[in-house]
């Protein structure tokens, strides 16, 4: 079963707030696959998820370390934040994903994978696929920082629930 909800956000604060609302729906074992161009707001959304989960430490892009684990401070699941952008250099993406050992922490953590589309879906039958698109004329303009955006830059975010886990989830709660 597949369920979709579309949310429009204006700026980084709205994106973080959406992430915090999304975190209320998440539990240990959940996999989120984030897609969108450079500067779309994937890390910004993950920052909101981190706040909503009550994790320790600042959530920043794990581009150079590939994966970061943010333990909870409130007794919930940890956040495993992965940036798959640099994967595939060896020509064997599957082996690189396997080398990250994500399946070892998947059951007890919320795992968010940026740039994971087409690479990590096999890790979980149930997952959220989150596509972030920059709207309008700004879509082709570079951003000053890839991990945030300012002002009222509009993003359209489509959250797609895949599998039985998301069949009855209140994804509509993300719109408000």
Give the pLDDT confidence score for residue 84 in this predicted structure.
80
Higher pLDDT, 88 or 131: 131
- pLDDT tens-digit series, residues 26-71: 999 999 999 999 899 999 999 999 999 999 988 988 666 667 888 8
Q: What is the mean pLDDT of residues 15-21?
A: 97
- What is the percent of the chain where pLDDT is above 70? 75
Give long-range contacts, CB 8 A cutoff, 24+ apart: 40-43.
40/132, 40/133, 40/134, 40/155, 41/9, 41/12, 41/15, 41/132, 41/148, 41/149, 41/155, 41/157, 42/114, 42/115, 42/132, 43/114, 43/146, 43/147, 43/148
The domain 2-175 belongs to what CATH superfamily?
P-loop containing nucleotide triphosphate hydrolases (3.40.50.300)
pLDDT at residue number 100: 55
Give the C-alpha distances (Å, rounded to integers) separating 24 from 84, 103, 173: 25, 23, 10
pLDDT above 50 for 127: yes
Given a cut of 60, whether residue 91 has pLDDT beyond it is no
pLDDT band at 145 (very low <50, low <70, confident <90, very high): very low
- Predicted pLDDT of residue 104: 54
User: Do 121 and 33 meet the contact criterion of CB atoms below 8 Å apart?
Assistant: yes
The residues, any chain, with a CB within 8 Å of residue 75's CB and separated by 6 or more, are: none
DSSP state of 147: T
Residues 23, 24, 28, 29, CA torsion sign: negative
The pLDDT-based confidence of 137 (bands split at 50, 70, 90) is very low
- How does the average pLDDT of the chain come out, rounded? 83
Range name among 75-89, 93-107, 147-161, 162-176 with the lowest pLDDT average: 93-107
Average pLDDT over residues 125-147: 70
């Amino acid at each position: 079963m597949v369920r979709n909800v579309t949310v429009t956000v204006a700026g980084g604060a709205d994106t973080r707030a959406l992430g915090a609302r999304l975190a209320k729906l998440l539990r240990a074992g959940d996999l989120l696959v984030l897609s969108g161009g450079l500067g779309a707001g994937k890390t910004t959304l993950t920052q909101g998820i981190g706040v909503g989960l009550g994790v320790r430490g600042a959530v920043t892009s794990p581009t150079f370390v590939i994966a970061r684990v943010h333990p909870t401070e409130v007794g919930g699941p940890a956040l495993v934040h992965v940036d798959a952008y640099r994967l595939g250099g060896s020509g064997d993406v599957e082996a690189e994903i396997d080398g990250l050992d994500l399946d070892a922490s998947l059951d007890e953590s919320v795992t968010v994978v940026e740039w994971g589309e087409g690479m990590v879906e096999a890790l979980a039958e149930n997952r959220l696929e989150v596509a972030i698109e920059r709207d309008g004329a700004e879509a082709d303009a570079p951003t000053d920082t890839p991990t945030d955006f300012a002002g009222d830059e509009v993003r359209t975010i489509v959250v797609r629930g895949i599998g039985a886990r998301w069949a009855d989830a209140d994804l509509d709660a993300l719109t408000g």
